[in-house]
């Protein structure tokens, strides 16, 4: 009887993993097409640096305002249905992008993109929380390492193929039809990703209110809600119904060494997003490189990042998570620094080749160092403070960076962005 149940359980886990692999593979198609070129499209439409910055700032505001209410609203909701509907609600927006050139003039399209991104972010916040709760329920602890490895590999491959394909289409087809085709590819990838999320099935034990065993370090913390975007933005929330629940945002954490660590993280996120809205304008207005060249650079970046990720575990085992994090953040300014000297695509390619492994160090080192600093018995409050630092950093950087670019000029803003990234690295060296 138990043997039969185990076989059924393994079969269900494998079924769910297949769906999650297909989900992330199709999401990679979206990421390598629409998400990779949306800001570039806005730049070619004549968007200002502030308008491009709003593509990141708007979702950060939504996340700050809606994460906790969304977690409360999702309490007790069926995870599969909620995850599917939230993903569909967000990702249908990527299909809408296809029709913008037929509805708006170029200046109107920029504002429409900003408005659509803001609306999509509401469903995106729900999706981030629901998906990660779902993932924790349907993937047993002992399977998660393998699952994460496969998902990382699949998204890297699908993103690279999608980016190169999109770049070829953008160079071969006239504007704006070329972007409409690319957005259609991304929209199809988005919908197919949602389709596979909807095919995930809960374990039979869930009918009795049970789930797969969780990580022992996470026991007695109430529901776990993860919110991830670039660098795994996360919120953990204690169930307010628990008698021993404590407030999430506490002054004692702000005044502790962890508070200083979060101050360094805030600077890191802010200075990271300081430069991000500037890059598309540099490619389009300063370097005048083609979309094909941009896609090739993106493929180089993703490829070297994936290669760097393969050595991350060995490097972390030898040096420790703190040193790996510091290596990444201290070198993080190399990309904008090299780009500031670019006169054509050659220096851009070099920046992408070097920038990929650096981001791999940061992606692994920062989140792992964060988990080292978070005590198992007080994770909700610590992670809530991290989420606050993350989204405030995104908001501040996405707004201040474009203003500096308008004031100083694009190339000068790249110099400043590189210096600020180095400063953030030094702060994390001191406080991390």
**Region 316-343 average pLDDT:** 93
Q: How does residue 76 score in pLDDT terms, banded at 50, 70 and 90? A: confident
As given in the structure block, the two tokens for residue 17 are 């993993």
User: 10 Å Cβ neighbour count for 250?
Assistant: 16
Question: Left (φ > 0), alpha (ψ -120 to 50) or beta: where does 214 sit?
Answer: beta
**Region 238-242 average pLDDT:** 39
Which is more confidently placed, 199 or 137? 199
**Region 113-123 average pLDDT:** 95
Comparing 162-171, 331-340, 374-383, 416-425, the range with the smallest average pLDDT is 374-383
Nearest residue to 123 (alpha-carbon basis) of 187, 63, 165: 63
pLDDT attached to residue 39: 96
pLDDT, tens only, 172-229: 999 999 999 999 999 999 999 999 999 999 875 443 343 434 443 333 322 333 333 3
How would you class 215 by CB atoms within 10 Å of its CB: exposed for 0-12, middle for 13-18, buried for 19 or more?
exposed
pLDDT attached to residue 315: 86
How would you class 193 by CB atoms within 10 Å of its CB: exposed for 0-12, middle for 13-18, buried for 19 or more?
buried
**Region 151-167 average pLDDT:** 91
Say whether 87 sits in a helix, a strand or coil.
helix
pLDDT, tens only, 257-298: 999 999 999 999 999 999 999 999 999 999 999 999 999 999
Which is more confidently placed, 69 or 45? 45
Q: Following DSSP, what letter does each residue of 207-271 receive, concatenated?
A: GGT--SPPPGGGTTS-------STT--------TTSTT---SS-HHHHTSHHHHHHHHHHHHHHH
As given in the structure block, the two tokens for residue 290 are 């083609």
Which is more confidently placed, 417 or 220? 417
Q: How many CA atoms lie within 13 A of 157 on its CB side?
A: 11
46, 157, 300, 317 from 307: Cα distances, Å: 36, 12, 11, 17
How would you class 64 by CB atoms within 10 Å of its CB: exposed for 0-12, middle for 13-18, buried for 19 or more?
middle
Q: How does residue 247 score in pLDDT terms, banded at 50, 70 and 90? A: low
Nearest residue to 294 (alpha-carbon basis) of 376, 178, 394: 178
Question: How high does pLDDT run on average in the chain?
Answer: 85
160, 192, 359, 411 from 283: Cα distances, Å: 19, 31, 20, 11
Question: Which of the given ranges, 103-107, 381-385, 425-429, has the highest pLDDT on average?
Answer: 425-429
- The CATH superfamily of 253-432 is MFS general substrate transporter like domains (1.20.1250.20)
Domain 1-240 matching CATH 1.20.1250.20: the answer reads yes
pLDDT, tens only, 17-44: 999 999 999 999 999 999 999 999 999 9
Name the DSSP class of 99.
G
pLDDT attached to residue 316: 83
Q: How does residue 75 score in pLDDT terms, banded at 50, 70 and 90? A: confident
Do residues 239 and 245 lie in contact, with contact meaning Cβ atoms separated by under 8 Å? yes
Nearest residue to 295 (alpha-carbon basis) of 182, 401, 405, 189: 182
Domains 1-240 and 253-432 share a fold: yes
177, 358, 379, 381 from 246: Cα distances, Å: 54, 38, 11, 8
pLDDT attached to residue 189: 97
pLDDT attached to residue 253: 82
pLDDT attached to residue 210: 39
**Is residue 245 scored above 70 in pLDDT?**
no
What CA–CA distance (Å, rounded) separates 69 from 83? 16
Q: What percent of the chain has pLDDT over 90?
A: 59
**Region 66-86 average pLDDT:** 83
Q: Where are the domains of the chain?
A: 1-240, 253-432
Q: How many CA atoms lie within 13 A of 82 on its CB side?
A: 21
pLDDT, tens only, 340-388: 999 999 999 999 999 999 998 898 888 888 878 888 777 777 877 888 8
């Amino acid at each position: 009887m138990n043997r039969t149940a185990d076989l059924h359980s393994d079969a269900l886990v494998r079924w769910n993993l297949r769906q999650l692999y297909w989900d992330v593979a199709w999401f990679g198609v979206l990421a390598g097409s629409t998400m990779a070129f949306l800001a570039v499209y806005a730049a070619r439409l004549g968007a200002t640096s502030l308008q491009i910055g709003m593509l990141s700032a708007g979702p950060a505001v939504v996340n700050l305002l809606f994460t906790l209410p969304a977690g409360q609203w999702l309490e007790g909701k069926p995870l599969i249905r909620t995850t599917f509907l939230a993903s569909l609600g967000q990702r249908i927006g990527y299909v809408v992008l296809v029709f913008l050139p037929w509805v708006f003039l170029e200046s109107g399209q920029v504002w429409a993109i900003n408005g659509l991104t803001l609306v999509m972010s509401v469903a995106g916040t729900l999706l981030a929380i629901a998906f990660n709760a779902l993932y924790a329920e349907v993937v047993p602890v002992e399977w998660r390492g393998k699952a994460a490895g496969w998902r990382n590999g699949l998204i890297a491959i699908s993103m690279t193929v999608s980016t190169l394909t999109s770049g070829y289409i953008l160079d071969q087809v006239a504007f704006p039809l070329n972007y409409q085709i690319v957005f259609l590819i991304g929209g199809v990838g988005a919908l197919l990703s949602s389709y596979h999320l909807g095919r995930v099935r809960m374990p039979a034990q869930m009918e009795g209110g049970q789930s797969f065993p969780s990580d022992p370090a996470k026991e007695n913390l109430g529901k776990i809600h993860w919110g991830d975007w670039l660098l795994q933005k996360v919120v953990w929330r204690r169930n307010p119904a628990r008698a021993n629940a404590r407030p999430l945002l506490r002054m004692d954490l702000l005044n502790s060494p962890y508070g200083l660590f979060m101050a360094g993280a805030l600077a890191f996120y802010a200075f990271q997003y300081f430069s991000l809205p500037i890059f598309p304008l540099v490619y389009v207005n300063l370097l005048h490189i083609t979309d094909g060249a941009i896609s090739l650079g993106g493929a180089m970046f993703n490829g070297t990042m994936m290669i760097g990720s393969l050595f991350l575990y060995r490097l972390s085992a030898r040096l420790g998570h703190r040193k790996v994090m510091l290596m990444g953040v201290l070198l993080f300014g190399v990309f904008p620094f090299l780009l500031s000297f670019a006169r054509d695509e050659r220096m851009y390619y070099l920046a992408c080749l070097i920038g990929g492994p650096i981001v791999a160090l940061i992606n692994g080192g920062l989140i792992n160092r964060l988990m080292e600093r978070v005590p198992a018995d007080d994770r909700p409050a610590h992670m809530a403070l991290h989420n606050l630092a993350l989204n405030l950093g995104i908001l501040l950087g996405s707004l201040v960076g474009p203003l500096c670019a308008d004031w100083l000029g694009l190339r000068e803003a790249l110099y400043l962005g590189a210096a600020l990234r180095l400063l953030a690295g030094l702060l994390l060296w001191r406080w991390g």
